[in-house]
Structure 1
Amino acid sequence: MKLNYQITPAPQAATIPVVLLHGLFGKQDNLGLLKQHLMTQYSVISVDLRNHGLSEWHSEMNYHAMGEDILALLAQLHIPQAHLIGHSMGGKAAMAVAIQQPTQVASLTVADIAPVSYQQDRHSAVFAALQTVAKKPEVTSRKDADTLMSQHLAEPSVRQFLLKSFSNDSPSHWQFNLDTLATHYSDIMGWPFSADQQYPGPVLFIKGGASDYLQPEHQPAIMNHFPNATARVIPSCGHWLHAEKPALFNGIVERFLQQVS
């Protein structure tokens, strides 16, 4: 499975690199502000996960496969160990890597997601909006796509996030594999690992204060998998905390990496 990625050179040879993993419907530049913040201290690898961005499309879409993709990329780049940072689906993919190969993960930062299964209708309006555009081959502009999507999605910020992946080079208008994401949505919202599978290294969970993705009832699952986990809350922001409060988010991540390096 060939993943598209961008890598910045290491500012110093001994630095363990950082891998950034985006969320569902995203691509590698979604965490661009964090990349710019960290690249003066670390080599940073921004990745398009399978079926997203410019990475290969594949009919399989689950966290075992995504974890194996990332491990294969690290092997390709001759990187024995990395700090992993993931948002939402990318956070679950990062957790999957840490559980499958804990010695290859120097630390884990998870943004606004828990190692649990979520309800299956969280993105029904998003899929409806995306599929409305996909069924209209005559749509050639983001403006027209935005108008169509507004029939299903009232929030302009959500539409603008999705429209970052609008492309006339794709038959579906989207740079992500919409059909496979819809088919395997239950796998994406699920969590396939048993409670006894652990990563013992340092872990930071960062929650958006107004988001419902990380809840107190998720704490037992978190501690089962990640006994050395700590948490921070960024107030007055939602699920896209890295975009809503970038300075605060970036500072929290930087300080954590300094503590564990």
Structure 2
Amino acid sequence: MAEDVAHFIRENGLKESSIIGHSMGAKTAMTLALGSPDLVANIASVDNAPSDKSLGKGFADYVRGMKQIDASNCKRQAEADEILKQYEESITIRQFLLGNLYRPPGENVTKFRVPLDVLGRSLDNLGDFPYKDPNEIRFGKPALFVRGTKSKYVPDEVLPLIGQFFPRFRLVDIDAGHWLISEQPEAFRQAIVEFLSPQE
């Protein structure tokens, strides 16, 4: 994924890019910054860290629910939401997941854009991080780490490792779980705007 982003940046002639990623997107941003620092001005990593971490059971449940929705040939998002309620009680998170639904051309049912079989098979490895030794590679430009205080993905004990890989990092805590952008959009927006604003 980091290679895909690097290709996009080069192909479009972008300069001094700010990369913001949540969850796996955060690991993508960190990987890109460490592997191709010349392409990146700064990064914002949202609720993830540069370490291997197994995914919570909830992700497998989400995939099961999404597969059930696909198999049910739902015609409306409300029908899909009723199915997903069995797997996730938060309407905010359900709406986020259901944002991947679309109606394929010529069909009258909704399907997910993401390849659910591939996603389901890959869950065991999705929490891995490709760089292991911060003594070998560092990103010396600004980095923002935003974490949900009710999430388990950026515990206090990983902060020293973040500091080793990203010595110019800043940390912002938001009173939310892993889906903090959906749960606290204004707090997230403020953190990003402050980080990206020119510093006096």
For normalisation by structure 2, the TM-score amounts to 0.87
Aligned residues: 194
> Does the CA-based 8 Å contact 2:74-2:110 persist in structure 1?
no
Q: Which has the higher contact order (CA 8 A, sep 6+)?
A: 2
Structure 2: gaps spanning 5 or more residues: none
Identity over aligned pairs, percent: 27
Structure 2 partner of 1:147:
82
Structure 2 partner of 1:227:
167
Distance in 2 (CA, whole Å) between partners of 1:200 and 1:124 is 36
Higher percent of residues as helix = 2
For normalisation by structure 1, the TM-score amounts to 0.68
> Does the CA-based 8 Å contact 2:27-2:48 persist in structure 1?
yes
> Does the CA-based 8 Å contact 2:53-2:128 persist in structure 1?
yes
Distance in 1 (CA, whole Å) between partners of 2:25 and 2:41 is 17
The alignment status of 1:134 with 2:74, answered yes or no, reads: no
Structure 1: gaps spanning 5 or more residues: 1-65
The alignment status of 1:118 with 2:56, answered yes or no, reads: no
Residue from 181, 185, 190 that aligns with 1:242: 181
What is the deviation of 1:169?
A: 1.1
What is the deviation of 1:164?
A: 1.2
Structure 2 partner of 1:80:
15
Distance in 1 (CA, whole Å) between partners of 2:164 and 2:91 is 38
Amino acid at match of 2:127: M
Amino acid at match of 1:205: F
What is the deviation of 1:99?
A: 0.8
The 5-angstrom pairing of residues 142-221 of structure 1 reads 142-169=77-104, 173-195=111-133, 196-221=136-161
Distance in 2 (CA, whole Å) between partners of 1:156 and 1:244 is 10
> Does the CA-based 8 Å contact 1:107-1:260 persist in structure 2?
no
What is the deviation of 1:232?
A: 1.3
Residues 140-166 of structure 1 deviation map (CA, whole Å, 9 limit, x = unaligned):
221221222222323322222111111
Residue from 72, 88, 95 that aligns with 2:30: 95
Distance in 1 (CA, whole Å) between partners of 2:119 and 2:110 is 13
The alignment status of 1:107 with 2:46, answered yes or no, reads: no
> Does the CA-based 8 Å contact 1:135-1:172 persist in structure 2?
no
Tell me whether 216-225 or 82-91 shows the greater mean CA deviation. 216-225
Distance in 2 (CA, whole Å) between partners of 1:245 and 1:149 is 21
Compute the RMSD of aligned alpha carbons: 2.1
